[in-house]
A and B are shown apart, each in its own frame.
Chain A
Amino acid sequence: MPMFDEIKGFGVTFKRLFRKDLTVEYPDERRPLEERFRGLPVLRTDPETQEAICVGCSMCERICPTQCISMEFTPANEGERDVVIYTLDAGRCMYCGLCAKSCPVDAITMSNAFELSVTSRDGLIYQKSQLAEIGATAREYFAQ
């Protein structure tokens, strides 16, 4: 029946009325993030000693396609390095995860932080302490 075909579409719409809503009332209600969610790259701290894990090898700085990571370090004892400055420009970051992939000691990881809006561009530049604060609870990038 050609006439019936034409009104079939209304049936689809009508059925939809009685199904559960799919939309999420965002600020009040949040959809769960997947375990591997790639949010803001952050610096982890050792859960036991509460010290920063980063050894200052600058691998993340080198692989970053947008050059959004910059770091400065001073030599410390026994050939180690102290990371003095570590900044991440979230305005340039494209959340590709290459920094976390390249980190040999799992110091940098992709966190669940995605609500990053600020009122000035300077707020998008994260210093080492801020990254460590967000990263205190972040899991390892390659953790299963």
Chain B
Amino acid sequence: MADTTTTRPIIADMPHMPGIDEQSVESDRVLEGGDREMILNLGPQHPSTHGVLRVVLRLDGEVIRACDLVIGYLHRGTEKLGENARYVQFTPWTDRTDYISAPSNNLGYIMAVEKLLGITDRIPERATYFRVILAELTRIASHLVGIGTHAMDIGALSMSLFTFREREMILDLFENYCGARLTTNIMEVGGFQRPIPDTFWEQTREFLRVMPERLAEYEKLLNANPIWIGRTKGIGYISREDALSFGLTGPLLRAAGVNYDVRKALPYLVYDRLDFEIPLGENSDTYDRYLIRMEEMRQSLRIIEQCMAQMPTDGPLMADEPKFVFPPHDAVMFEAEAMQRHFKLVIEGFSPPPGEVYVGIENPKGELGYYIVSDGTPHAYRLRIRPPSMINLQIVNKISVGTMIADLIAILGTIDMVLGEVDR
């Protein structure tokens, strides 16, 4: 008899896996009628897992009996890096958690640091509006990738080509302001150091003009498509109770009918001054979550339009907080104080007062939280990221039982996780 531990060593190393018990590892369990259950590894290299997620499935024919997620293939110790880097140095690392929506991640971290420093109220209004614009552009970009890859996984390849076309416009906007497209490092403590070029506003207006008709195009492609409806309607149902007890946030929670959006529940920046709606779902299935993402993009366009109208045209972009904020670049060469400040901030960084803060913002995927404990040194004592993707992903174990393998692909798509954030 063949030694099963050598044929399936990786599973045998994980006897604690909840869905897959030891018995099923030793030999495929025999079902009624003589059929055998089968263990199947989906991933970590499977394209539909959007990264390096490994899903271990126990199958009866094509029906999933148990499912277990194995994560950690992309673990880089981001939280630990945050404890070893000075506050300014850590911002580029936050790009690399949820790499589809880097500016939103920057924003969460920067807001947490500003709260720790106690300068949240000192940020100029112009910078605050600009932050909202960038965050909402990020939301659109992230939902475009989410819907595009989701549709591609279940057969609508052209959808991903259409959505990536519009995402390109947003990436061009990021490149225009900060020079990078994906890992932006766009936010700074205190506001923004570089002025906003006029071309940025031109391109944004162009984007706002083009986008509504493109959204209508997507809806024409998918909303009434019989294959899309067949693959998404009624698939991946999450009950309201489950959504709450699993701690889901973002479109998944709102599709279950729970009206929770950090932008409305605990308004930050200028969201309390803006007029926008939070779309809610009724059926809590994959199709509903797709509709919610589409509607959220429309609301984001509205927010950007309002921000552009309300934003002061003149005024500083950087807070006047000499102790924590880099001086204007021109002053560094010519003013002694500015140069001393600059050198001190680069060499030592700033030391926030001891204490702890938690800041949660509405990332495209859900509530993104940054928890920082400071011990009064230039490094964080503890930095913890609440990743919406990871917490949303945990529901897959429950909702995939009893479905087909092909439905699991749709479920993973609708969760819209980014493995960089799941594993951090």
Contact = CB atoms under 8 A, between A and B. Distances in A.
Interface of A: 2, 5-6, 8-9, 11-13, 22, 33-38, 57, 59, 62-65, 94-98, 101-102, 104-105, 110, 142, 144
A110 B180 CA distance: 11
A63 B346 contact: yes
Closest 10 A-B residue pairs measured CB to CB?
Answer: A5-B224, A38-B179, A96-B92, A36-B179, A65-B89, A9-B221, A8-B220, A96-B185, A34-B175, A142-B329
A46 to B, nearest CB: 14
Given A8-B224, A59-B347, A104-B332, 4 more contacts: A5-B223, A6-B225, A64-B89, A94-B92
Interface in B290-313: none
B178 interface: yes
Contacts of A9: 220-222, 224-225
A2 B217 CA distance: 17
A34 B176 contact: yes
Given A9-B225, A104-B332, A37 B89 contact: no
Contact of A97 (B89, B176, B179): B179
B342 interface: yes
B332 A36 contact: no
A96 B183 contact: yes
Given A22-B165, A36-B175, A62-B347, A12 B92 contact: no
A9 B157 CA distance: 13
Contact of A65 (B90, B222, B326, B342): B90
Contacts of B329: 101, 142
Nearest to B348: A62
Nearest to B172: A34
Question: Mostly helix, strand, loop or mixed at chain B's interface?
Answer: helix
A63 B88 contact: yes
Contacts of A63: 88-89, 346
Contact of A12 (B179, B217, B330): B217
B138 interface: no
B77 interface: no
B183 to A, nearest CB: 7
B193 interface: yes
A22 B58 CA distance: 44
B195 interface: yes
A22 B165 CA distance: 8
A64 B91 CA distance: 11
Interface string B74-106: 000000000001001111110110000000000
A12 B225 CA distance: 12
Contact of B185 (A33, A97, A104, A144): A97
B27 interface: no
Contacts of B332: 104
A89 B104 CA distance: 29
B177 A36 contact: yes
Contacts of A22: 165, 168
B9 interface: no
Interface string B200-239: 0000000000000000010011111110000000000000
B225 A105 contact: no
Contacts of B326: 101
B220 A11 contact: yes
Given A6-B226, A94-B92, A102-B346, A110 B333 contact: no
Contact of A37 (B175, B223, B339): B175
A37 B179 contact: yes
Contacts of A2: 224
Given A34-B175, A97-B185, A6 B89 contact: no
B8 interface: no
A10 to B, nearest CB: 9
Nearest to A7: B224
A144 B194 CA distance: 9
B339 A104 contact: yes
B246 interface: no
Interface in B153-187: 158, 162, 165, 168, 172, 175-180, 183, 185
Contacts of A65: 85, 89-90, 92-93
Interface in B35-94: 85, 88-93
A24 B347 CA distance: 43
A57 B92 CA distance: 23
A103 to B, nearest CB: 9
Contacts of B183: 94-96
Given A37-B175, A104-B332, A104-B339, A98 B88 contact: yes
Interface in B305-353: 326, 329-330, 332-333, 339, 342-343, 346-347
Nearest to A33: B175
Given A65-B93, A110-B179, A105 B333 contact: yes
Contacts of A101: 193, 326, 329
A98 B89 contact: yes
B103 to A, nearest CB: 13
A104 B333 contact: yes
A35 B347 CA distance: 29
A34 B225 contact: no
A91 B217 CA distance: 42
Contact of B220 (A12, A36, A62): A12
